A and B are shown apart, each in its own frame.
Chain A
Amino acid sequence: MPAVSKGDGMRGLAVFISDIRNCKSKEAEIKRINKELANIRSKFKGDKALDGYSKKKYVCKLLFIFLLGHDIDFGHMEAVNLLSSNRYTEKQIGYLFISVLVNSNSELIRLINNAIKNDLASRNPTFMGLALHCIANVGSREMAEAFAGEIPKILVAGDTMDSVKQSAALCLLRLYRTSPDFVPMGDWTSRVVHLLNDQHLGVVTAATSLITTLAQKNPEEFKTSVSLAVSRLSRIVTSASTDLQDYTYYFVPAPWLSVKLLRLLQCYPPPEDAAVRGRLTECLETILNKAQEPPKSKKVQHSNAKNAVLFEAISLIIHHDSEPNLLVRACNQLGQFLQHRETNLRYLALESMCTLASSEFSHEAVKTHIETVINALKTERDVSVRQRAVDLLYAMCDRSNAQQIVAEMLNYLETADYSIREEIVLKVAILAEKYAVDYTWYVDTILNLIRIAGDYVSEEVWYRVIQIVINRDDVQGYAAKTVFEALQAPACHENLVKVGGYILGEFGNLIAGDPRSSPLIQFNLLHSKFHLCSVPTRALLLSTYIKFVNLFPEIKTTIQDVLRSDSQLKNADVELQQRAVEYLRLSTIASTDILATVLEEMPPFPERESSILAKLKKKKGPGTVTDLEEIKKERNSDVNGGTESTPVNASTVSTPSPSADLLGLGAAPLTSAAPPPSSTGSLLVDVFSDSASVVAPLAPGSEDNFARFVCKNNGVLFENQLLQIGLKSEFRQNLGRMFIFYGNKTSTQFLNFTPTLICSDELQSSLNLQTKPVDPTVDGGAQVQQVVNIECISDFMEAPILNIQFRYGGTFQNISVKLPITLNKFFQPTEMASQDFFQRWKQLSNPQQEMQNIFKAKHPMDTEITKAKIIGFGSALLEEVDPNPANFVGAGIIHTKTTQIGCLLRLEPNLQAQMYRLTLRTSKETVSQRLCELLSEQF
Chain B
Amino acid sequence: MIRFILLFSRQGKLRLQKWYITLPDRERKKITREIVQIVLARSQKMSSFVNWKDLKLVYKRYASLYFCCAIEDQDNELLTLEVVHRYVELLDRYFGNVCELDIIFNFEKAYFILDEFIMGGEIQETSKKSAVKAIEDSDMLQETMEEYMNKPAF
Residues of A within 8 A of B (CB): 2-3, 5-11, 14, 17, 21, 53, 60, 63-64, 67, 69, 86-89, 92-93, 96, 102, 126, 129, 132-133, 136-140, 163, 166-167, 170-171, 173-174, 177-178, 201-202, 205-206, 209, 246-247, 249, 254-257, 259, 263, 266, 301, 304-305, 307-308, 311-312, 343-344, 346-348, 381-385, 621-629
* CA–CA, A629 and B102, complex, Å: 34
Complex contact A6–B139 (CB within 8 A)? yes
**Which among B14, B124, B129 has the greatest number of chain A C-beta atoms within 10 A?**
B124
Q: Does B40 touch A at the CB level, under 8 Å?
A: no
Distance to closest chain B CB from A79 (angstroms): 13
Complex contact A246–B127 (CB within 8 A)? yes
Interface residues of B in 43-71 (CB under 8 A from A): 45-51, 53-55, 70
* CA–CA, A347 and B78, complex, Å: 11
Interface residues of B in 100-154 (CB under 8 A from A): 101-102, 104-109, 111-112, 115, 119-130, 134, 137-139, 141-143, 145-146, 149, 154
Distance to closest chain B CB from A53 (angstroms): 7
Complex contact B47–A382 (CB within 8 A)? yes
Residues of B within 8 A of A136 (CB): 119-120
Complex contact A96–B108 (CB within 8 A)? yes
Residues of A within 8 A of B17 (CB): 67
Residues of A within 8 A of B3 (CB): 625
Given A88-B142, A96-B112, A348 and B77 contact (CB-CB distance below 8 Å): yes
Residues of A within 8 A of B86 (CB): 249
Of B45, B54, B79, B142, which one neighbours A89 at CB under 8 angstroms? B142
Q: Which 4 A-B pairs have the closest CB atoms?
A: A174-B120, A7-B139, A308-B78, A308-B79
Complex contact B138–A627 (CB within 8 A)? no
Given A53-B154, A621-B54, A304 and B105 contact (CB-CB distance below 8 Å): no
Residues of A within 8 A of B49 (CB): 344, 347-348, 384
Main secondary structure of the interface of A (DSSP, over half): helix
Residues of A within 8 A of B149 (CB): 86-87
Of A167, A177, A312, A384, which one neighbours B46 at CB under 8 angstroms? A384
* CA–CA, A833 and B77, complex, Å: 44
Of B1, B74, B115, B142, which one neighbours A8 at CB under 8 angstroms? B142
Complex contact B79–A139 (CB within 8 A)? no
Given A170-B122, A308-B82, A2 and B54 contact (CB-CB distance below 8 Å): no
Number of interface residues of B (CB under 8 A): 68
Provide 11 A-B residue pairs closer than 8 Å at the C-beta atoms, listed in order of the A residue.
Answer: A5-B105, A92-B112, A178-B22, A202-B124, A247-B126, A263-B76, A301-B82, A304-B78, A307-B78, A383-B46, A625-B55
* CA–CA, A621 and B52, complex, Å: 10
* Shortest Cβ distance from A383 into B: residue: B46
Of B22, B47, B111, which one neighbours A385 at CB under 8 angstroms? B47
Complex contact A259–B127 (CB within 8 A)? no
Residues of A within 8 A of B79 (CB): 255-256, 259, 304-305, 308, 312
Q: Does B85 touch A at the CB level, under 8 Å?
A: yes
Distance to closest chain B CB from A254 (angstroms): 8
Q: Does B29 touch A at the CB level, under 8 Å?
A: yes
* CA–CA, A177 and B146, complex, Å: 39
Distance to closest chain A CB from B80 (angstroms): 8
Residues of A within 8 A of B121 (CB): 174
Of B22, B51, B94, B123, which one neighbours A6 at CB under 8 angstroms? B94
Residues of B within 8 A of A170 (CB): 119-120, 122, 124
Complex contact A246–B106 (CB within 8 A)? no
* CA–CA, A255 and B83, complex, Å: 11
Of B20, B22, B137, which one neighbours A140 at CB under 8 angstroms? B22
**Which among B22, B49, B53 has the greatest number of chain A C-beta atoms within 10 A?**
B22
* CA–CA, A170 and B130, complex, Å: 17
Distance to closest chain B CB from A307 (angstroms): 5
* Shortest Cβ distance from A18 into B: residue: B105
Distance to closest chain A CB from B125 (angstroms): 5
* CA–CA, A272 and B147, complex, Å: 61
Residues of A within 8 A of B53 (CB): 622-625
Given A87-B146, A166-B125, A301 and B119 contact (CB-CB distance below 8 Å): no
* CA–CA, A658 and B54, complex, Å: 52
* Shortest Cβ distance from A312 into B: residue: B76
Complex contact B76–A311 (CB within 8 A)? yes
Complex contact B104–A344 (CB within 8 A)? no
Distance to closest chain B CB from A470 (angstroms): 38
